[in-house]
Amino acid sequence: MCLALRIARRAAELVLSAGTPDVWLKEDGSPVTSIDLEVEDLVRRLLAEAVPDDGVVGEERAEHRGTSGRRWLVDPISGTADFVAGRPTYSVDLALEKALAVSVMPSLDITMAAGRGIGCRVFRAGEEEVARVSSTDVVEGARVCLHGKRKPILERCAVVDGATSVLDLITGRVDAVIAAGAGLDEFDLACLPVLVEEAGGRVTVVEDDVVLATNGVLHDAFLSLLVARPGVEPGTPGS
């Protein structure tokens, strides 16, 4: 965990110190910047120095196949569109597959970190807190961050802004997050399961482009609703 925190925070410092980046569109139409590449290169170099036998796969560079059986996932800037637009809700995400997850929001000075069996913590401006999901146990009035278009199935819930949805879920400010959109990939999901599950919640990939994360208590109820009658139409997932 210490290694992941150190590397992710170094990457966050690079983002904050960078000037105005060059921006272009990838083949899928999503934006990428020169800072994405610089951050991923830094993370790869630091991992190579510390754990040279580990594999590394990043969103912008080719995969490095290791020999240790461990694999790191790097999303240098999760929420590049937010970063380009000057919104502070982007993050630097680093995960040791299925074991550790660190997500740093440089502009908000917030770090989320979790490891299997050691819990989930949030660091804000140097202050540390244990992250725990809410105890809400009824769908009616449940607070939901929705990335996608609202449908009648969610009329029973209080749909709230999803800009910091993962942070809000693991700290109990919302009860569920539903993300739907063609942009979801393994990098979007790299940190989510470990962060949410170690805070006491649950995560399910309902379909290839629909992900449900909840406080755990409400999970089966939301899952049955989504499977029986999808509650969202594809939209743009948040950070």
Dihedral sign, Cα of residue 49, residue 2, residue 9, residue 133: positive
Q: Is 59 among the annotated ligand-binding positions?
A: yes
188 is in an annotated binding site: yes
Q: How far is CA 73 from CA 171, 179, 202, in A?
A: 24, 20, 20
22 is known to lie in a ligand binding site: no
Determine how β-strand 71-78 pairs with β-strand 91-96. Answer: antiparallel
Determine the distance from the C-alpha atom of residue 162 to the mean position of all C-alpha atoms in its chain, rounded to a whole number. 12
Residue 75 assigned ligand-binding role: yes
Burial of 17 (0-12, 13-18, 19+ CB in 10 A): exposed
Question: Can you say which residues are annotated as belonging to the binding site for Mg(2+)?
Answer: 59, 75, 77, 188
Question: Can you say which residues are annotated as belonging to the binding site?
Answer: 59, 75, 77, 188
